A = this chain, B = another copy of it.
Amino acid sequence: MSEPDTPSSLAGETLLAVKPSKWTLVIVTSLRENTLRFNELRRGIGGISQKILASTLRELERDGFVRRTVFATIPPRVEYQLTALGRDLLRIAEACEQFVREHRADVEAAREQFDAQASSAPHSQI
C-alpha cells in the first residue's frame, strides 16, 4: 500500500532491520561472499558478543534477509547465508561502506575544524 510518504514515516521506519542494530550491516557484509557458520561469523567480525550476534541473526532471519540452516549433527552445525532479499540489502550496506571510504577524511576534517572553533567561540557569530 502506498502511504502518504512524509519524510518522517518513511525514514523513521526506514532500514527496517538496519536501524536497530549497529551490527546488522556488518553481518550482512560478512555474508557477502559465502555461507558462514556461527563462530566463523563471530571471529570474522570480532568485537561482537554472541548474544548480540545471535539476536541480530534472528532478526535478520525473521525479516527474510538471512537463511539459517541447521544440520543435526554432533557437534551441531548451523549455517547462515544471504537470501535474495539479503543480497539487496547488501547493496545498501556496500553503498554505506563506499560512502565512508570516500568521505571519512572529509568528516574527520570537519570534526576537527568544528571542535577547534567551538572551543574558541562557544556561541554564535553572525
A-side residues, CB < 8 A to B, are: 3, 5-8, 10-19, 22, 25-26, 29-30, 32, 44-48, 61-64, 70-72, 85, 88-89, 92-93, 95-97, 99-104, 106-107, 109-111, 114-115, 124-126
Q: Are B22 and A8 in contact (CB under 8 A)?
A: no
- Chain A contact residues: helix, strand, loop or mixed: helix
With both chains docked as a complex, state the minimum distance between the C-beta of A116 and any C-beta of chain B, in angstroms.
Answer: 11
8 other A-B residue contacts (CB within 8 Å) besides A72-B126, A89-B99: A3-B46, A6-B44, A8-B45, A10-B29, A62-B114, A70-B126, A72-B124, A92-B95
List the B side residues contacting A15 at CB < 8 Å: 25, 96, 99-100
